[in-house]
Every structure is written in C-alpha cells, then in structure tokens.
Amino acid sequence: MTSPLLPTFARAELSFEKGEGPWLYGRDGERYLDFGAGIAVNALGHAHPHLVKALSEQASKIWHSSNLFQIPEGERLAQRLVDNTFADFVFFANSGAEANEAAIKMARRYHYVNGNPERFHIVTFEGAFHGRTLGTIAAGGQAKYLEGFGPKVQGFDQVPVEDLEALKAVIGPQTAALMIEPIQGEGGVRSVSPAFLRELRALCDSQGLLLIFDEIQTGVGRTGKLFAYEWSGVTPDIMTVAKGIGGGFPLGACLATAEAGKGLTLGTHGTTFGGNPLAMAVGNAVLDVILEPGFLESVERKGLLLKQRLAELKDRHPNVIAEVRGQGLMMGLRTVVPNTEFVNAAREQKLIVIGAGDNVVRLLPPLIITEADLGEAIDRLDAACTAIEAEQKNASQPGAIQ
C-alpha cells in the first residue's frame, strides 16, 4: 500500500495502540518491552498517571495563549530548570533542533553585541547530531544529511572528538563557540572523556569562547544525573534540552548564563508555539517525578545493573556483541553483526531497541523501568543473540537450507 506520508523514514511494519509504563501494545496483538522510549523521549514511560493528569487538567483550562502574554506555568518550569542547573535563563522551543538553533543564534549574537561580529564560527565534532534544520545539519556536519540541500550554512568547523591539537588548530579569530554532546547519541553512544570536556572549558575560558552542551538526548535524568555535564564537573555557558523534558509532548529548551544570553534581547528571537501552557504543564509534571528525592539515584543504580548484565551478555555472545558503552540508562551495544539485524532480532523477541551510528544498538528504557523489567530485557536480548548465532551457524554450513 502506498502511503500519503513522504517516505523519509523506513518505518517498521508495526504500530502501537497503547502503552503502559515500559510496555507497548502493538496492533498485531503483541506486547513489547520498550527500550527505545520513542528515542529517549518517553522518560517516564507511557501513560504515566501524573503526566496524564497534568495534561488533561491543563487541557481543560488553556492550551495556548502566545508569548505576547505572561505564562506562569512557563515561569515556573524555567525557574526550576535554573534552580537545578548552571543557567540563569531559559528559552522554550518545540524540538531539539529549534533549541539548538536558539543556542547557535545566541552564541553568534553574544559576540556581535560584544563588538565582534566576525566571530560567528562554531566548532563541532565528528559523529555529532544536532538536528535536521538547515543550521543544525551544518552543525552536525554529516555529508548524508547535507547532500542536495544547497550551500551548507556557513560558520561550522568540525574536528574529531578527543583531538585537542586539531581543535586548537581550527580555533581562530572567527570562532564564537564550541558545541558538543557529552555523550554522542545518534553517533553511537560515544562518551566524551571528562578530561576532554575540561580541555574544552579551559580553551573557552582562555579564548573568550562559549561552551555549548547539546543535552537533548543525555539530559533530564537519562544518565543518572539531571544533566550529564554534572558527571564531568564541567559547566557549559549554553545548554540545549528536548526529548525527555516533555515526556512525549514536543518541548525543547535552550538554557544559558546571563552573560552568554545577553545578546538575545527584545525582539531578536521568537516562537509562536514554544513554551505554551500545555507544554509547560507537562514539563513541570516531568520534573515533579524526576526531582523526587531518590529518583535519579535509582536511575544510576539501575544503569549500573544494566551495564553489568550487558557485559555478561557480551561475554556469552562474543560473536554478536563487540562492546558495551554508555552511562546510566543510555546504553549502547556495538554489534558484530549489522545493527539492523540485531534490532530486528530483538523485535522478534518483543523488545524494542534502536540503531545508531558506528553499528551500535541503543538501549534507552524509560527511567521508571523496574529491575525486574531490566532482567526481562536481558532475557530477551539473550534470546535474540542466540537466534542470531543459530543463523550464523546455519549460514556457515555448506549446503545448508536457508
């Protein structure tokens, strides 16, 4: 059947009619354990009672009023983000890419108002993913996302992660900022070392550059801290957040210190939908749960358990799993077989996992996952590995019936 949707996604032959916690109910009558969480979005799983209540209560009051008026729910969410981070100000948007656009514009304006309009270049890192707008594909620098979309937006220079010499060589009088994901998500759950992040901070301080962390995937508790930068002790000047902050409702945010944000004055940036009462009510409800005492500690504990169980799985299946990576509940398996084959084998076991770059399979369970359900996922991954090994054995036997 042809679909009226533009065919920009390779969609699986599967759709879901409802979800509950970490479980998804397919229209195929099967129940799936969701270790994709809508690409790290459903941080509190599906149909979380507190989120459902917040959304429905707000829905019967006011959805949208525009930013021409005060939005107390947004003031509150921004204040809570400020209270729990390095930031002084928040700009709300509807997606990750938009949050990054705000960050890029903010960094350029900062130098502009400082009297240095020539400083508009941002250094980004190989393997990065920052979104799909014209600006953010230039920032991400991946040829496959840039091809055919006309001249690349100017002002992005890219170097390999952990390559301090290359970084120093590319920084010049035109450089405005460095932009990095503390753990690359789409790029394959690749952690950046705290030592390298400290080098970035030192370079920014000595050269008057702004440090931008893209925490769209790593943020909002995913790694066991509210934001991943807390692990390194390195504080950015600007940080972008999306995915988990809305728990499934489209919501993005750009956080900044007062100094870094000083260029975005009245009328210099805007949004129609960003920060509307409905989104803000849901964002506040997400924070209610994540900021509850003990919640982040439980994510950290479950992350350690998952990592240990995955390491055992790798030892049992060295022909399938090459490496275990990640932190907290953002884990990656670099597979020996094509990662797409692994994703399909997991789905056969009714477990949803997600591919990433570098032949990695991402495991991004909702943060409310129980230890019992982590064990269930390990059993299903084990079964998927066994099925892949059986295939391998079959294929290696001459004359085997396929």
Ligand X SMILES: *Cc1c(COP(=O)(O)O)cnc(C)c1O
130 touches ligand X by CB under 6 A? yes
Catalytic residue among 105, 243, 307, 314: 243
Instruction: Tell the residue number behind the tokens 């195929």, with chain if given.
Output: 28
Contacts with ligand X: how many residues (CB under 6 A)? 15
Report the residue number, 144 or 165, with the smaller CB distance to ligand X.
144
To ligand X, the closest distance from the beta carbon of 394 in angstroms equals 37
Cα angle, residue 335 at apex, residues 245 and 217 outer, rounded to 5°: 10
Phi, psi (degrees; rounded to nearest 5) at 140: -65, -35
Could you say which residues in the range 176-205 bind ligand X, by CB under 6 A? 181, 185-186
Q: Could you confirm whether 129 is annotated as catalytic?
A: yes
To ligand X, the closest distance from the beta carbon of 317 in angstroms equals 28
How far apart CA 139 and CA 136 sit, in angstroms, is: 5
Instruction: Tell the residue number behind the tokens 């932009």, with chain if given.
Output: 179
254 touches ligand X by CB under 6 A? no
- The amino acid sitting at 212 is I
To ligand X, the closest distance from the beta carbon of 270 in angstroms equals 18
Select the residue whose beta carbon is closest to ligand X and give its number: 96
Catalytic residue among 129, 156, 213, 249: 129
Query: 156-159 and 190-191: which strand pairing?
Result: unpaired
To ligand X, the closest distance from the beta carbon of 128 in angstroms equals 8
* Paired residues of 214 in beta bridges: 240
214 touches ligand X by CB under 6 A? yes
CA torsion through residues 10, 343, 223, 38, sign: positive
The residue from 217, 276, 349, 359 that contacts ligand X (CB under 6 A) is 217
Site string for ligand X, 285-324 (x = CB under 6 A): ----------------------------------------
Q: Could you confirm whether 125 is annotated as catalytic?
A: no
The residue from 36, 74, 131, 274 that contacts ligand X (CB under 6 A) is 131
Phi, psi (degrees; rounded to nearest 5) at 272: -80, -55
Tallying the residues shown for the chain, one arrives at 402
157 touches ligand X by CB under 6 A? no
DSSP state of 209: P
Query: 210-214 and 252-256: which strand pairing?
Result: unpaired
Report the residue number, 131 or 345, with the smaller CB distance to ligand X.
131
Catalytic residue among 34, 156, 157, 214: 214
DSSP state of 273: S
The residue from 45, 96, 244, 332 that contacts ligand X (CB under 6 A) is 96
Report the residue number, 254 or 321, with the smaller CB distance to ligand X.
254
- Which string of DSSP letters, residue by residue, matches 137-200? HHHH--HHHHTTSSSPPS-EEEE-TT-HHHHHHH--TTEEEEEE-SEETTTTSEEPPHHHHHHH
The distance of Cα 89 from the centroid of its chain, to the nearest Å, equals: 21
Report the residue number, 95 or 276, with the smaller CB distance to ligand X.
95
To ligand X, the closest distance from the beta carbon of 395 in angstroms equals 35
Say if CB 380 and CB 35 are below 8 A apart: no
The residue from 44, 97, 167, 364 that contacts ligand X (CB under 6 A) is 97
The residue from 43, 93, 107, 216 that contacts ligand X (CB under 6 A) is 216
332 touches ligand X by CB under 6 A? no
242 touches ligand X by CB under 6 A? yes
101 touches ligand X by CB under 6 A? no
Q: How far is CA 370 from CA 72, 121, 306, 346, in A?
A: 34, 44, 11, 19
Q: Could you confirm whether 214 is annotated as catalytic?
A: yes
CA-CA-CA-CA torsion for 375, 379, 384, 390, nearest 10 degrees? 150
How far apart CA 85 and CA 227 sit, in angstroms, is: 8
State whether residue 87 is helix, strand or coil: coil
To ligand X, the closest distance from the beta carbon of 201 in angstroms equals 19
To ligand X, the closest distance from the beta carbon of 180 in angstroms equals 10
129 touches ligand X by CB under 6 A? yes
Residues with a catalytic annotation lie at: 129, 214, 243
Residue ranges in contact with ligand X by CB under 6 A? 95-97, 100, 129-131, 181, 185-186, 214, 216-217, 242-243
